[in-house]
Amino acid sequence: MVLALACAPAEAAGDRALGEYLSSECTSCHQTSGRQVGGIPAIVGHPAEQFVALMNAYRARQRDNQVMQAIAARLSSEEIAALAAYYESLRPNP
């Protein structure tokens, strides 16, 4: 029981390796440089908690963007957390 509780925060933070694996779909629109291009926001270096909140808002259709709503709907909470951990770990290129 104690071991499970000790491991919980690490799992809640998301698996960066899984996030990196899943990120190929994201990079087809979002720049890996961390720069915003057109109306597509940068996600490199984005705080994980905000990333998760935004993806959950798209999943719940509280944010308006059909592409992001469809992508968020296909992702599990674990996958969203993994993507959040991965993108938070990256630093934008100046």
pLDDT tens figures, 32-67 = 888 888 889 999 999 999 999 999 999 999 999 999
User: Contact, 51 vs 79, CB < 8 A?
Assistant: no
- The span from the CA of 51 to the CA of 83, in Å, is 8
Q: Which residue carries 């926001």 as its tokens?
A: 41
Residues 6 or more apart whose CB falls under 8 angstroms from that of 65 comprise: 58
pLDDT tens figures, 8-31 = 444 457 999 999 999 999 988 998
The CA distances from residue 45 to 59, 74, 83, in Å, are 21, 23, 11
Model confidence, pTM: 0.82
Q: Which domains are seen in the chain, by residue range?
A: 2-89 (1.10.760.10)
Residue type for 3, please? L
